[in-house]
Amino acid sequence: MTKHVYNRCRERGIRYSDIKNAILNSEIIEQYPDDFPYPSCLTLGASIQGSFIHVVCGVGEGKLWIVTAYYPSPEKWESDFKTRKGNN
């Protein structure tokens, strides 16, 4: 996690333990194979408290890179938090 990602997650009330829990128990819902510098994906998991959380991460140089994490907004996501609204 870069300092930028850490600060953004802190602003959003997302702790490292939430991100770790979300990734370990997540489902990939979107893939971005052409992302730079590494292919990445959007996952749906849950925080320690059980709230849905999206984590964007990529794999490169033998590491898992956390790009961002956020609580999905009901205004932008269907109730399953897997489907973007307006993409039907």
CA distance 54 to 82: 9
Give the pLDDT of residue 28. Answer: 97
Give the pLDDT of residue 88. Answer: 55
- HEC per residue, the chain: CCHHHHHHHHHCCCCHHHHHHHHHCCEEEEEECCCCCCCEEEEEEECCCCCEEEEEEEEECCEEEEEEEECCCCCCECCCCCCECCCC
Render each residue's pLDDT in the chain as its tens digit; 88 residues.
Answer: 888 888 989 999 999 999 999 999 999 999 999 999 999 999 999 999 999 999 999 999 999 999 999 999 999 999 999 999 986 5
Residue carrying the six token digits 């990939």: 28
